[in-house]
Amino acid sequence: MENTIVKAENYNSYFGDNHVVKDVNISINKNEVIAVMGPSGCGKTTFLRGINRMHELIPGATSTGKILLDGENVYDMNAIYVRAKIGMVFQRPNPFPNLSIYENVVAGYLLNGIKLSKADRDVIVEKSLTSAALWKEVKDSLHKKGTFLSGGQQQRLCIARAIAMQPDLILFDEPTSALDPISTSSVEALFHELKANYTLIIVTHNMQQAARVSDRTAFFYMGELVEFDDTKQMFTNPSDQRTQNYITGRFS
Amino acid sequence: MTPLENELTALKKELVNMWILVQSQLNKAKEAMLQFDKDLAREVLIKEKRVNSFELKIDRDCENIFALHCPVAVDLRFLLAALKINTNLERIGDIAAGIALYVVESTVNFDIDGLEKTSLIRMYEEAVNILMDTRTAFEKEDTVLARSIFKRDDVLDAINENAPGTIADVIKADINSLPEALYMLSIIRKLERVGDQSKNIAEEIIFYVEAKILKHYESSQKGKTDNNEKE
């Protein structure tokens, strides 16, 4: 139980009357890589955005149930604090275009008005970029704009930005769907390294990626969490026929 | 159907065609043995090349499907099973050719009385039937039929175990029958292998359909309930 970092209890999400995520119960352990997959519109991204309370930023969006982070309901916590503890990386790399690589990494501190000494900032930048496997490539051009980097490097910069806030958990929403295979491979390799210090939840449409990078996989269909199991088990012998139909491409 | 389903359907058809050829090879080798028909035996030896061609083609097809379609779940299990069934069928093809070669090499015909005494004919018929039923189980994905193979293989094993005694009796009855008796013993040994290969195939069918692994399980356990099976 104490190994659990995130737990959803009877969690539901709505857009107005549209019931998008239905009564999800799931328990995720520390230092696990979780893949979340399912067809478009199945509620996987909405569920992900419910974890760090980004869902509620959309007008008309509501949710019920609990998301427990280390046993505490995130909906009883300060939303800004929740998003600091739960980092997020999006589909398209989105470094701040007017900020340098260096400034991008510490953007979370700058934008929240958290003052740091230059020495502390230097340490955070080097540590975060090293963790994101980007330090060696950018250490001599830290003051160039982040947008000068390649797509894969920009995505790793976004990961470094998330890491800089020292989150407990990092959410990834289709993090490599806009990247070429080489960049995808470098980001996937990074997942394996990040796992030592963080818990990762990755929404992906790429089933082979889910199989390659995750310890456990959750399959969503029509808002329901249909199956959540060891990834090896899921891709060799799923227990639910709907999961089998989806992963074998026989979904109608 | 998805492109992957089309590929798997074509692969299944190809395997069934190979199966039919291997069955035919085994039957012809039996006829050649009973009738001492050297021409028929030579035909089996020539057609062995077709069995080998099937094996190579199926291996290549599986490789292509793995590379191009990245199959998972039941599709992955089917492909893994297909690769192993392919190997087992090719070996049964080798066995049929081996028996045909004995007919070609033997200078005297096999004494029907000796074949009866050693239960070789009964063993041969059962081996052919087992192989035929594994094909039916494969085509219909019938795991009950596949499970029945394990017990039936025991019949072949028993005849094989008794073979030294029964062959010795044939030799004692007529010392001049020594060369053909040795051929009969070799054929019994080969037919016992057909049973083993068919059993392997039955295990693969159960793995593919039910995702249950029965390999290296005692045959006595296999006929029992699923409770004993490793998942």
pLDDT tens by residue, A136-157:
999 999 999 998 999 899 999 9
CB count, 10 Å around CB of B144? 9
User: How far apart (Å, rounded) are the C-alpha atoms in residues B191 and B186?
Assistant: 9
pTM higher than 0.95, yes or no? no
What average pLDDT does the segment B32-41 reach? Answer: 96
Nearest residue, CB atoms, A249 vs list B2, B76, B211? B2
- Chain B residue with Cα closest to A209: B70
Cβ–Cβ gap B72/A247 under 8 Å: yes
Q: What is the CA radius of gyration of chain B?
A: 19
From residue A202, alpha-carbon distances to A32, A36, A105, A195, B35 in Å are: 11, 6, 21, 12, 69
ipTM of this complex: 0.72
User: How far apart (Å, rounded) are the C-alpha atoms in residues A231 and B219?
Assistant: 32
Burial of A51 (0-12, 13-18, 19+ CB in 10 A): buried
- Chain A residue with Cα closest to B209: A237
- Chain B residue with Cα closest to A232: B73
**pLDDT interval class at B228 (50, 70, 90):** very low
From residue A39, alpha-carbon distances to A200, A222, A248, B20 in Å are: 21, 8, 13, 41
Interface of A with B in 198-227 (CB under 8 A): 207-208, 211
Beta partners for A202?
A35, A172
Strands A169-173 and A86-89: parallel
A252 touches chain B (CB under 8 A): no
pLDDT digits (tens, 9 = 90+) for B98-122: 999 999 998 888 888 888 888 999 9
Beta partners for A24?
A11
The yes-or-no verdict on residue B222 having pLDDT over 70 is no
- Chain B residue with Cα closest to A244: B73
A238 touches chain B (CB under 8 A): yes
Cβ proximity of A16 and A60 under 8 Å: yes
Cβ–Cβ gap A237/B72 under 8 Å: no
Cβ–Cβ gap A247/B71 under 8 Å: no
User: How far apart (Å, rounded) are the C-alpha atoms in residues A188 and A184?
Assistant: 6
Nearest-Cα distance to chain A for B69, in Å, is 10
**pLDDT interval class at B161 (50, 70, 90):** very high
